[in-house]
Chain A
Amino acid sequence: MKLIKAIVKPFKLEDVKDALAEVGVEGMTVSEVKGFGRQKGHTEIYRGSEYTVDFLPKTMLEAVVEDDMVDVAVKAIVTAAKTGKIGDGKVFVIPVESAVRIRTDEEGGEAL
């Protein structure tokens, strides 16, 4: 099992969710997050003075999938979230040791 952690532009969330559903990913957790990468925030100007906003709003999507699903799921996310402009985000893949479905006590792949 692997945890796919994708940080994407908020307005791309719907597209990414649909793309993942299409390739068979059945669940995910989404959070509103803030951060910066090489883009380094942005500036806003009020009454002529520049204000730097260091952390930009992004959406973080987490989904745990079976090992054989990882490549296709990552590809689905990247395709759906890409605008080609700075600030598109990143995808991380992290190994997962175990999983339990609370309602039924199912474990491992069964629990996903």
Chain B
Amino acid sequence: MKNVLRFISLLMLLLAPGFLLAQEAAVVEVADQVVAVTASADSGNTAWMLTATVLVLFMTLPGLALFYGGLVRAQNVLSVLMHCFAIACLASVLWVGVLYSIAFADGSSWVGGLSKVGLQGVGLESLSGDIPETVFVMFQMTFAIITPGLIVGAFVERMKFTAILLFTALWLVVVYAPVTHWVWSEGGWLFARDTIDLAGGIVVHATAGVSALLLAYFVGPRDGFPKKLHVPHSPGMVMIGASMLWVGWFGFNAGSQLAANESAGMTMLVTHISAAVASLTWMTIEWIKTGKPGLVGIVTGMVAGLATITPASGYVGPLGAILLGFLAGVVCYFMCGVVKEKMKIDDTLDVFAVHGVGGIMGTVLVAVFGTAAFGGLGEFNMGEQLVTQVIALAAVVAWSAVGTVIIVFICKMTTGLRVDQEVEHTGLDQAEHGETAYHFE
């Protein structure tokens, strides 16, 4: 109980200045709007961005929640759904409070300023490009929701709920919002270096993947890892969630063009191709290696294909999408084994192997497959762009790692990371949330 109170007061502290400032800023807002009146929103683009926002939220709720929920034991499925849902709500409140400003307000090249804390100055008339800024705020918010949601896969079945909330809140402030500023805000230093990351190979998948790997390491493996593990309790649920991710990903990638235009069309096309090729690739490898093509395998391949094409969509053509999809299937499949068997880290639902590796691979390879030689649309020099991409990745991976380690330390000192062994055996649903998923009576 003490931990809960401590967490809530911390959250209040973080948010309070934002809302106070927002009230004071109401006067200034009027002046800003006068400038904005000359331009107006494009209704076609706005309609698409409203739709894309819905699709990306749908990826987390319930897509990712079901995808992850089906992979755990029956005694833990509710806890996973709860993690995704609570993180979605927490990220939303923080986004409005401070994160949007840190990510997108004018500031230094390292971090946005506090001028948009509490969404001050974001009114009915304000625009972001040719869409309303409110829509841009919402669209980007759904990215801030799914990214810490992805990390859930690293610690399922054993991390304390209080620790999860505290980790998520701090991680969004320390890692996610600054990195978003670097890469996607016009003032960011990686943006200025022409780093390519259309929809979040760096911002979403590399940050989440690297942080997940480290968090899994610090939380420690599930009891029984790696020899005595329980099978996924509902592969059917995994497939349903994964399919929602696939559909939602069109909003994620094609929406990241911020316009309903020919680029968005191409982005959607290559996104789909990569997912399909990666699914078949993963299925085939599994078929050859284990003798049976599995459902969990084919849908995991799909997620790998989508994560990999994410930074590159919009720059590669269909040929590049096929190549990226194929490599996603092969490399991510083998990385699952590397993390669990060689590194002995229980990144339980393979967040690093699938999202981290996929996102990093796509970020590097867009410099190759995005060129005209591979039917790509990018107008850059392959060698120079490769260097740019690798520098961006190195910086973001290092920042994510350092940030995660510091936050883990804070959580250890305050909430503690892990539930006790008895709770882990009984399952988190009953112990942490007082509910049971399946009553057979």
Indicate if A11 sits at the interface (CB-CB under 8 A): no
Q: Mark B286-305, 1 if CB is under 8 A from A, else 0.
A: 10011010101100100000
Whether a CB of chain B sits under 8 angstroms from the CB of A102 is no
B289 nearest CB neighbor, chain A only: A48
Min distance, Cβ A51 to any Cβ of chain B, angstroms? 5
Complex Cα spacing A46 to B296, Å? 7
Interface range on chain A (Cβ under 8 Å from partner): under 10
Q: Is residue B139 within 8 Å, beta carbon to beta carbon, of the partner chain?
A: no
Cβ A47 vs Cβ B300 within 8 A: yes
Q: Which of B227, B228, B230, B337 is in CB contact (< 8 Å) with A48?
A: B337
Chain A residues numbered 4-54 whose CB sits less than 8 Å from any CB in chain B: 44-49, 51-53
Candidates A44, A47, A52, A53; contact of B336 at CB < 8 Å: A47
Q: Please indicate the chain B residues that have their CB under 8 angstroms from the CB of A45 in the complex.
A: 286, 290, 292, 294
Which residues of B lie under 8 Å from residue A49 when comparing CB positions? 226, 229, 336-337, 340-341
Task: Give the one of B71, B231, B300, B340 with max A CB within 10 A.
Answer: B231
A110 and B290 CA atoms in complex are apart in Å by 56
Interface size range of chain B in the complex: 20 to 34
Residue pair B228, A46 in contact (C-beta under 8 Å): no
Contact B231 A44 (CB under 8 A): yes
* Closest B residue to A52 using CB positions: B228
B232 interface residue (CB < 8 Å to A): yes
Enumerate B192-238 residues with CB–CB distance to A below 8 Å. Answer: 226-232
State whether the Cβ of B350 lies closer than 8 Å to any Cβ in chain A. Answer: yes
Question: What CA separation (Å) do A30 and B296 show in the bound complex?
Answer: 33
CA distance A47 to B231 in the complex (A): 11
**Bound state CA distance, A48 and B337, in angstroms?**
6
Known: A45-B290, A45-B294, A46-B296. A51 touches B340 (CB 8 A): no
Smallest Cβ-Cβ distance to B238: which chain A residue: A46
Q: Given contacts A52-B228, A53-B231, are A47 and B289 in contact (CB under 8 A)?
A: no
Q: Which listed residue (B230, B286, B300) contacts A51, Cβ 8 A? A: B230
Contacts of B369 in A (CB 8 A): none
Q: Which chain B residues (229-272) contact chain A, with CB distance < 8 Å?
A: 229-232
Closest to A45 in B: B290
Q: Which residues of B lie under 8 Å from residue A47 when comparing CB positions?
A: 296-297, 300, 333, 336, 350
Q: Which residue of A lies closest to B228 (CB)?
A: A52
Chain B's nearest CB lies how many Å from the CB of A83? Answer: 21
A contact residues vs B (CB 8 Å cutoff): 44-49, 51-53
Closest 7 CB pairs of A and B: A45-B290, A51-B231, A47-B336, A48-B337, A46-B296, A48-B336, A51-B229
**Cβ contacts A to B, 20 pairs, < 8 Å:** A45-B294, A46-B232, A46-B294, A46-B296, A46-B297, A47-B296, A47-B297, A47-B300, A47-B333, A48-B289, A48-B333, A48-B336, A48-B337, A49-B226, A49-B340, A51-B229, A51-B230, A51-B231, A52-B229, A53-B231
